[in-house]
Amino acid sequence: MTGLYFSGTGNTKHCVEEFVRYFDSKNQTVSIETPNIDNILANEDVIILGHPTCFSNAPKIVRDYIKNHTEIFAAKKVFIIVTMGLFSGDGAGCSARILRKCGAEIIGGLHLRMPDCIGDNKMLKKTLEENKSLVKQADIKIQSAAKQLKEGKPFKEGLNLFYHIAGLFGQRLWFYGKSLSYKDKPDINVKKCTGCGLCVKNCPMKNIEKREETIIHKKRCTMCYRCVNNCPARALTILGKKIYEQCLFEKYK
């Protein structure tokens, strides 16, 4: 068993690591951003795939990763873990539908509420204690889901028709356009930016470039919020205009 994840701000990384560790502390967990992981995954029968929900869909970077690596997933057993701030409907179902087209067998799905990572939106913000409590509850659910998979009775969250309808009508129809393609983001406040280059280094899409004393972004943003939540100058925003909180998993464990 190997854990495989995409995580903008650390929530999903933590959840996949916890799940996989339950089976054997020596099990590996790797990011889809790590180079040359194809050979690690090639020899595995079971992959635990984790990703955040993005407007009730799998992030574009994850959907593209699966489509560009069909050979990795063919004939594999895949258990899907989806993290979310509030609600995803059929979060696991979104990636399951693509994975099945690659020939993967979906053995289960787990939905986990975690701290919201949209640092420039006030709506879903919680206190530090509330976020810590969310992580604790998620950890308990992870243990229970891992135990059930071990016993051959895996959680199937996100995978049936009921979830599909909830995902579609609960949210995806209204926000469908937002998750279809990569974006021309983030917005930079040039007065605040110090040109430190951290966002350039961290972006999973190589969407940000340093040009002389400033940075520019291209049109390949997957809206993971990593740059926004890590910028020391709070100079970046995406959906909002102001930073309310820099949301990073390390603060909540």
Ligand X SMILES: Cc1cc2nc3c(=O)[nH]c(=O)nc-3n(C[C@H](O)[C@H](O)[C@H](O)COP(=O)(O)O)c2cc1C
* 129 to 14, 133, 134, 135, 217: CA distances (angstroms): 18, 6, 9, 10, 35
The 197-236 contact track toward ligand X, x by CB under 6 A, reads --------------------------xxx-----------
Q: Which does 23 bind (CB under 5 to 8 A by kind): ligand X, ligand SF4, none?
A: none
| Contacts of ligand SF4 in 113-152 (CB under 6 A) | none
The 180-209 contact track toward ligand SF4, x by CB under 6 A, reads -----xx-x----xxxxxxx--xxxx-xx-
Residue 116 makes contact with ligand X by CB under 6 A: yes
Smallest gap from Cβ 96 to ligand X, in A, equals 17
Which of 75-99 are b and which e, b meaning 16 or more Cβ less than 10 Å from the residue's Cβ?
A: ebbbbbbbbbbeebbbbbbbbbebb
**Of 81, 224, 243, 248, which lies in the binding site for ligand SF4, with binding defined by CB under 6 A?**
224
Q: What's the CA gap between 37 and 40, in Å, rounded?
A: 5
Residue 14 makes contact with ligand SF4 by CB under 6 A: no
Q: At what angle do helices 91-101 and 60-68 cross, to 10 degrees?
A: 20
Per CB under 6 A, residues contacting ligand SF4 are 8, 185-186, 188, 193-199, 202-205, 207-208, 215, 217, 221-227, 231-233, 235-236
